[in-house]
């Protein structure tokens, strides 16, 4: 299978997406990858696999690669570069949306791929919109009967009073990778933490910071069957900050499974399945859960996990191959102008 990996984007998580793509280049052995980079200006470039290093992007050398156009049916290059000659199609079986944060996870890529008829692995438009916002994610979980921690939503320029007990955790609503996240333990720290978070987003969530709470990650997708990963218990000091997650995204080896009983695993899997199906069909996601006194709480949905959470699976490539064969298709809507014709006939203008 040939897989086009779309990465980069206009996002605070742009560099994380590059790290994910470079990592997948190392991980994929049977699947043939094609790399399509989206720069900060939202231009597309076809990147030769040999040039898939962080330096290519940090130095701007990627601009020497062929520029691509997105049109009906896929990506095309015009003249020169790797493919040379006239306008040619970039041929692949399906595309993997690996853009973290804005552009990739907010629905822009999903909308573009569906509009231009490109087969892709990744969250569809509705799933992207709901999971991109940590606030909307909580509403989704609550609607599904899955608990979430108590929270307060604050808006830039609005009131900053929070009626929750310290310690608290402050999170920008629309960012991942722990960017702009702070743990605060007093009123004196809260204003500064909010200033930091509002540098990145117009909306901020404030939640209780529960020290020592058990946290578990579970990834997977649905093909003809459920394809669920092992359950990971992330090792952390206070919380997974940006630097830890940056290193986490570059992992290229499998992690150790959490030591939990069958009953807890069943609860985690049931919550994951309720969140995933049908909203996230066509994507491979990771859900991060808290467990307190035996109750499951959804912390976050990662609709495009770092390097697709390959380190949680025995055979990640086989799952990608099966998922590519079980992608949802947009309903074909016949347009026959019957309504307009009936109006014209009623007016005697057939």
CATH code for position 68: 3.40.50.20
What is the rounded CA–CA span in Å between residue 216 and residue 93? 34
pLDDT given for residue 81 in this prediction: 47
- Chain centroid to CA 123: how far? 7
Q: Quick one: CA dihedral 179, 120, 310, 323, positive or negative?
A: positive
The H or E element that residue 12 is part of is: none
Neighbours of 243 (CB within 10 A): 10
Q: Are 161 and 96 in the same domain?
A: no
294: helix, strand or coil = coil
Per-residue pLDDT of the chain in tens (350 residues, 90 and over written 9): 999 999 999 999 999 999 999 999 999 999 999 999 999 999 999 999 999 999 999 999 999 999 999 999 999 997 654 545 578 999 999 999 999 999 999 999 999 999 999 999 999 999 999 999 999 999 999 999 999 999 999 999 999 889 999 999 999 999 887 889 999 999 989 999 999 999 999 999 999 999 889 999 999 999 999 999 999 998 765 554 545 554 555 565 678 899 999 999 999 999 999 999 999 999 999 999 999 988 999 999 999 999 999 999 999 999 999 999 999 998 899 998 988 888 878 776 55
Query: Does 341 reside within a domain?
Result: no
345 lies in some domain? no
CATH number, residue 202 = 3.30.1490.20
Considering the domain architecture, whether residues 141 and 161 belong to the same structural domain is answered as: no
Are 89 and 202 found together in one domain?
no
Range of the domain at 191: 152-208
In this structure, the answer to whether residues 99 and 37 fall within a common structural domain is yes
Give CA separation, 23 vs 161, 189, 253, in Å.
42, 37, 10
Q: Domain total for the chain? A: 3
pLDDT at 238: 56
Q: Is residue 346 in some structural domain?
A: no
Same domain membership, residue 245 and residue 197:
no
Of 176, 168, 174, nearest to 194 by C-alpha is 168
Residues 22 and 117 in one domain: yes
219 falls within a domain:
yes
């Amino acid at each position: 299978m040939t897989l086009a990996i779309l990465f980069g984007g206009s996002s605070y998580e742009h560099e994380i997406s590059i790290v994910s793509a470079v990592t997948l280049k190392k991980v994929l052995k049977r699947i043939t990858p094609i790399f399509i980079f989206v720069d900060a200006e939202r231009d597309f470039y076809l990147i030769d696999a040999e040039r898939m290093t962080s330096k290519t992007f940090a130095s701007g050398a990627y601009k020497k690669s062929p520029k691509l156009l997105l049109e009906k049916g896929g990506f095309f290059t015009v003249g020169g570069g790797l493919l040379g000659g006239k306008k040619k199609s970039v041929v692949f079986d399906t595309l993997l949306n690996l853009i973290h944060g804005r552009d990739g996870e907010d629905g822009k890529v999903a909308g573009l791929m569906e509009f231009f008829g490109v087969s892709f692995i990744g969250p569809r438009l509705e799933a992207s919109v709901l999971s991109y916002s940590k606030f909307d994610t909580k509403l989704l979980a609550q609607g599904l009967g899955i608990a979430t921690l108590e929270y307060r939503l604050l808006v830039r320029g609005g009131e900053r009073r929070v009626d929750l007990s310290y310690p608290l955790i402050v999170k920008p609503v629309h960012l991942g990778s722990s960017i702009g996240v702070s743990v605060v333990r007093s009123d004196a720290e809260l204003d500064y933490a909010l200033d930091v978070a509002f540098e990145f987003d117009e909306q901020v969530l404030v939640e209780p910071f529960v020290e020592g709470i058990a946290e578990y990650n579970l990834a997977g997708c649905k093909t003809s069957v459920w394809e669920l990963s092992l359950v990971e218990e992330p090792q952390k000091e206070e919380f997974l900050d940006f630097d830890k997650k940056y290193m986490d995204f570059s992992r290229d080896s499998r992690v150790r499974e959490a030591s939990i009983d069958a009953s807890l695993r069943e609860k985690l899997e049931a919550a994951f399945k309720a969140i995933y199906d049908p909203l996230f069909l066509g994507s491979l996601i990771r859900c991060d859960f808290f467990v307190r006194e035996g109750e499951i709480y959804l912390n976050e949905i990662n609709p495009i996990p770092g390097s697709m959470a390959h380190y949680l699976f025995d055979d990640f490539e086989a799952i990608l191959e099966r998922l590519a064969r079980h992608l949802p298709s947009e309903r074909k809507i016949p347009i026959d102008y019957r309504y307009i014709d009936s109006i014209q006939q009623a007016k005697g203008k057939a």
